[in-house]
């Protein structure tokens, strides 16, 4: 199998240094955003992908979780697989008590396939709005609503990869939406737009009304500086103030398509600890909230 590296260049691998964070996460902590990629010889990547990740296997990820002191995780379908969810589903079926999944589905997916996904541990569907060709038409709200109605009977949510700053009417567009919404990477609005940006304010409004969840992931993706990513700290503080019960955290491993210095996952854990100092709030974000959103059993 050709990886078409000329058309889809190889991206950075995650930092391989063996190191644990200083912070101790609470029992039952969940990494709510990670990807399993490969082995490429067994799970081939889609020809239409825009990058080629180094293999980031379930074995490697389990080793990382042990080092970080994280007990459970949510595997999100990466774009390199398009709608072929086999790598993610194989991981879910291998450790069903440990993992949940967020799939990317084809328009013609059958109800039977959705049921099979649910039984495997899928609890949401991801839509990539960042790469929509024609953004002048606004959000594809009719398509998203139709999709939401299909997944609503399963209790799933719709995860959106989108730059919220590009949609100043975000809160009104999603009024009375059929399922919960999840926004990755703090809404994926670059820090330069600031917390007063209309789209980001719309996201905060959806959070206050308990219609949207926010993933505290990928701070390095939405700012220009390096650790400790100080220029996006105001966005972090704003989502906590809006509604901490609608927040979840994730490592974003293996940090695909990072073009600046690759962050170490131990440092990202410690950064979360520095930005969320209250132990009860940490437990809510790391344990309680993910149990609600992803249907994890409570650990006693």
Asked whether residue 17 is domain-assigned, the answer is no
Q: How far is CA 3 from the centre of its chain?
A: 25
Q: What's the CATH code of the domain at 269?
A: 3.20.20.140
7 pLDDT higher than 80: no
Asked whether residue 38 is domain-assigned, the answer is yes
pLDDT of residue 139: 87
2 pLDDT higher than 50: no
The phi, psi pair for 248, rounded to 5°, reads -135, 160
Q: How far apart are CA 46 and CA 3, in angstroms?
A: 9
DSSP 212-252: EEEEE--GGGS-SS-TT-GGGHHHHHHHHHH-GGGEEE---
**Mean pLDDT calculated for residue range 270-276:** 98
Asked whether residue 87 is domain-assigned, the answer is yes
pLDDT of residue 111: 94
Active-site residue list: 252
129 pLDDT higher than 70: yes
pLDDT of residue 4: 54
pLDDT of residue 299: 73
Coil/strand/helix, residue 27: coil
Which helix (DSSP H) or strand (DSSP E) does residue 125 occupy?
strand 122-128
More confident residue, 9 or 3: 9
Query: Tell me: the pLDDT tens digits for 168-221?
Result: 999 999 999 999 999 999 999 999 999 999 999 999 999 999 999 999 999 999
Q: Choose among 273, 189, 287, 182: nearest CA to 238.
A: 189
Residue 178's domain comprises 30-294
pLDDT of residue 3: 53
Asked whether residue 22 is domain-assigned, the answer is no
pLDDT of residue 1: 40
Asked whether residue 299 is domain-assigned, the answer is no
pLDDT of residue 132: 59
Q: Choose among 3, 50, 21: nearest CA to 269.
A: 21
> Checking phi first, is residue 93 left (phi over 0); if not, alpha (psi -120 to 50) or beta?
alpha
Q: How far apart are CA 190 and CA 171, in angstroms?
A: 19
145 pLDDT higher than 70: yes
Structural domain count of the chain: 1
Q: What is the pTM of this model?
A: 0.95
Sign of CA dihedral 253, 264, 96, 74: negative
Q: How far apart are CA 8 and CA 202, in angstroms?
A: 35
**Mean pLDDT calculated for residue range 246-262:** 96
Q: How far apart are CA 155 and CA 112, in angstroms?
A: 16
Asked whether residue 169 is domain-assigned, the answer is yes
Q: How far apart are CA 79 and CA 74, in angstroms?
A: 16
Asked whether residue 130 is domain-assigned, the answer is yes
Asked whether residue 193 is domain-assigned, the answer is yes
Query: Tell me: the pLDDT tens digits for 20-66?
Result: 999 999 999 999 999 999 999 999 999 989 999 999 999 999 999 99
Can you give the C-alpha Rg of the chain in angstroms?
A: 18
138 pLDDT higher than 60: yes
């Amino acid at each position: 199998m050709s990886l078409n590296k000329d058309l889809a260049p190889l991206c950075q691998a995650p930092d391989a240094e063996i190191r644990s964070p200083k912070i101790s996460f609470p029992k039952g902590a969940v990494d709510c955003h990670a990807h399993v990629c490969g082995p490429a010889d067994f799970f081939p990547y889609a020809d239409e992908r825009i990058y080629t990740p180094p293999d980031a296997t379930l074995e490697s990820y389990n080793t990382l979780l042990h080092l970080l002191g994280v007990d459970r995780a949510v595997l999100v379908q990466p774009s390199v697989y398009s709608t072929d969810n086999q790598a993610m589903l194989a991981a879910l079926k291998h450790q069903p008590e440990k993992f949940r999944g967020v799939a990317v589905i084809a328009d013609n997916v059958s109800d039977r396939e959705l049921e099979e996904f649910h039984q495997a541990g899928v609890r949401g569907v991801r839509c990539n709005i960042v790469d929509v060709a024609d953004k002048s038409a606004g959000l594809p709200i009719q398509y998203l609503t139709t999709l939401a109605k299909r997944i609503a009977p399963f209790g799933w949510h719709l995860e959106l990869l989108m730059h919220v700053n590009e949609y100043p009417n975000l809160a009104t567009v999603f009024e009375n939406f059929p399922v919960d919404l999840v926004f990755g990477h703090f809404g994926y609005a670059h820090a330069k737009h600031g917390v007063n940006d209309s789209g980001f304010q719309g996201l905060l409004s959806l959070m206050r009304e308990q219609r949207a969840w926010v993933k505290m992931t990928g701070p390095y993706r939405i700012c220009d500086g390096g650790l400790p990513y100080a220029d996006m700290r105001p966005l972090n503080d704003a989502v906590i103030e809006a509604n901490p019960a609608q927040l979840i955290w994730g490592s974003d491993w293996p940090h695909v398509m990072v073009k600046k210095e690759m962050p170490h996952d131990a440092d990202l854990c410690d950064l979360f600890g520095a930005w969320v100092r209250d132990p009860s709030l940490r437990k809510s974000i790391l344990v309680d909230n993910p149990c609600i959103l992803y249907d994890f059993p409570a650990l006693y």
